[in-house]
């Protein structure tokens, strides 16, 4: 039926999400999901929302959730918060509302692979900027004409974080361009740029509830920035889908961000496990990039990454592999529970010893 496709759709190369296998008893370390469940308060809030009110539309502005997000950060107001159906939708709106200009936008050559997909979808010109030999982003490389800048911090799939001082230098060097900082993994070791939004009107910070708050299945993301940036996102949202978050998502996400104790306990557990995982991988001869995320990026100089992925799968363990220049020999490994990571290390020890 592709004869009915538009020319734009024919030219698209869609984003390929991480595999969600249906096989039981897999050690699933490929999609950066949190190994710990959501706060018990989230489950209670979801149960409380199931009732006759589901016949009614949800609040189109998600006011309660936006107020809770503002209260969590403390230095912002609810009108500086935008929410959407996962951070992917928030990012998509940002590309259309804030990054579609005459000059090309800039983002790293090794980065979230959805960025070029958005550019092709919305006909946005872009230019990739090479990370250095250690896979770090160099701020000086972005001192060139552009229609906007976007990058993940920590970066994906490398896990490396850019210090807040470097982000501020980037903002100062590009006062006439929107800078979007995609902070999907910020709670596992980086320093959020939300503290800078009131000083830089060109800064938009995007976060998600999928990772550090264990709500990947609920699909909630948000952006924080100057009210003019938020208004632009609202214009796109209200021209596309006035109700991006349903009643369950609003209730669950609100409960999640209000339970600071659960958030802190589970993210610290991931950080502790990551430290041990890196040490164990290095003991097997892996080279591991510094990670501020809930995953690690590792390669073994004597073992082909694709063959290692297949060998792990045969042992019931799945990790992520990207067949892309410069990183085709790396494995991206989600930080699971201590038990999951221990099983991974046992399997890798067998693989690298053959």
pLDDT digits (tens, 9 = 90+) for 97-156: 999 999 999 999 999 999 999 999 999 999 999 999 999 999 999 999 999 999 999 999
User: CA Rg, the chain, in Å?
Assistant: 20
Q: Are residues 223 and 277 in the same domain?
A: no
Alpha-carbon dihedral angle through residues 133, 137, 140, 141, given to the nearest 10 degrees: 70
Residue 25 forms part of a structural domain = yes
Q: Are residues 321 and 175 in the same domain?
A: no
| Residue found under tokens 């995007």 | 206
pLDDT, averaged across the chain: 96
| Residue found under tokens 């003991």 | 283
Q: Are residues 222 and 89 in the same domain?
A: yes
Q: Are residues 275 and 333 in the same domain?
A: yes
Q: Are residues 175 and 284 in the same domain?
A: no
The pLDDT tens digits for 169-222 are: 999 999 999 999 999 999 999 999 999 999 999 999 999 999 999 999 999 999
Residue 9 forms part of a structural domain = no
Q: Are residues 249 and 274 in the same domain?
A: no
* CATH number of the domain to which 297 belongs: 3.90.1150.10
Domain stop point among 234, 258, 282 = 258
Residue 213 forms part of a structural domain = yes
Q: Are residues 24 and 75 in the same domain?
A: no
Q: Are residues 236 and 93 in the same domain?
A: yes
Helix (H, G, I), strand (E, B) or coil at 301: coil
Query: Has residue 22 got a pLDDT over 80?
Result: no
The pLDDT tens digits for 284-304 are: 999 999 999 999 999 999 999
Q: Are residues 186 and 275 in the same domain?
A: no
Q: Are residues 207 and 126 in the same domain?
A: yes
Query: Has residue 23 got a pLDDT over 90?
Result: no
Q: How far apart are the first and last CA of the chain?
A: 48
Q: For the chain, what percent of residues have pLDDT higher than 90?
A: 92
Domain stop point among 258, 293, 313 = 258
Residue 306 forms part of a structural domain = yes
Least confident of 12-16, 263-267, 313-317: 12-16
Model confidence at 250, in pLDDT bands (50, 70, 90)? very high
Domain that holds residue 301: 18-37+261-352
What is the number of other CB atoms lying within 10 angstroms of the CB of residue 199? Answer: 11
| Residue found under tokens 């993940």 | 152
Q: What is the pLDDT of residue 270?
A: 98
Q: What is the pLDDT of residue 9?
A: 84
Residue 7 forms part of a structural domain = no
Nearest to 297 by CA among 325, 322, 318: 322
Q: What is the mean pLDDT of residues 259-265?
A: 98
For residues 24 and 179, the model is more confident at 179
Q: For the chain, what percent of residues have pLDDT higher than 70?
A: 99
Model confidence at 85, in pLDDT bands (50, 70, 90)? very high
Q: Which H/E stretch holds residue 208?
A: strand 203-208
Q: Are residues 341 and 236 in the same domain?
A: no
Q: What is the pLDDT of residue 20?
A: 78
Q: Strand order of the sheet with strand 317-321?
A: 27-29, 317-321, 331-334, 295-299, 287-288
Task: Please give the backbone phi and psi of residue 178, each rounded to the nearest 5 degrees, phi first.
Answer: -75, 135
Model confidence at 24, in pLDDT bands (50, 70, 90)? confident
Distance (Å, whole) CA 211 – CA 36: 10
Distance (Å, whole) CA 20 – CA 7: 30
Distance (Å, whole) CA 103 – CA 93: 18
Residue 6 forms part of a structural domain = no
Q: What is the pLDDT of residue 21?
A: 77
Residue 33 forms part of a structural domain = yes
Report the number of distinct structural domains present in the chain: 2
Query: Has residue 25 got a pLDDT over 90?
Result: no
User: Which tokens hold the place of 332?
Assistant: 């991206």
Q: What is the pLDDT of residue 1?
A: 53
Residue 3 forms part of a structural domain = no
Q: What is the mean pLDDT of residues 66-95?
A: 98
Q: What is the pTM of this model?
A: 0.95
Q: Are residues 308 and 249 in the same domain?
A: no
């Amino acid at each position: 039926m592709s004869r009915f496709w538009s020319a734009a759709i024919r030219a698209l190369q869609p984003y390929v999400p991480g595999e969600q296998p249906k096989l039981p008893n897999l050690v699933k370390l490929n999609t950066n999901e949190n190994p710990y469940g959501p706060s018990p308060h989230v489950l209670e809030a979801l149960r409380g929302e199931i009732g006759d009110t589901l016949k009614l539309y949800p609040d189109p502005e998600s006011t309660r959730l936006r107020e809770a997000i503002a209260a969590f950060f403390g230095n912002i107001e609810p009108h500086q918060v935008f929410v959407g159906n996962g951070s992917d939708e928030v990012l998509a709106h940002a590309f259309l509302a804030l990054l579609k200009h005459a000059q090309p936008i800039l983002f790293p050559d090794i980065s979230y692979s959805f960025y070029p997909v958005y550019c092709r979808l919305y006909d946005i010109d872009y230019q990739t900027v090479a990370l250095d030999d250690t896979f770090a982003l160099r701020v000086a490389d972005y001192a060139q004409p552009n229609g906007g800048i976007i990058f993940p911090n920590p970066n994906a799939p490398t896990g490396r974080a850019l210090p807040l001082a470097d982000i501020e230098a980037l903002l100062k060097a590009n006062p006439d361009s929107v800078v979007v900082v995609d902070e999907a993994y910020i709670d596992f070791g980086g320093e959020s740029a939300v503290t800078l939004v009131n000083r830089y009107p060109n800064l938009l910070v995007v976060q998600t509830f999928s990772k550090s708050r264990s709500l990947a299945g609920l699909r909630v993301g948000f952006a924080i920035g100057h009210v003019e940036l938020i208004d632009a996102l609202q214009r796109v949202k209200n021209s596309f889908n006035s109700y991006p978050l349903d009643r369950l998502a609003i209730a669950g996400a609100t409960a999640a961000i209000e339970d600071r104790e659960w958030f802190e306990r589970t993210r610290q557990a991931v950080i502790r496990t990551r430290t041990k995982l890196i040490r164990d991988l290095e003991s097997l001869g892996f080279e591991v990039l510094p990670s501020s995320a809930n995953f690690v990026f590792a390669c073994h100089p004597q073992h082909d990454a694709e063959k290692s992925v297949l060998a792990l799968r045969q042992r019931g363990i799945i990790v992520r592999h990207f067949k892309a220049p410069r990183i085709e020999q790396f494995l991206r490994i989600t930080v699971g529970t201590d038990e999951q990571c221990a099983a991974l290390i046992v399997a890798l020890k067998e693989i690298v010893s053959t």
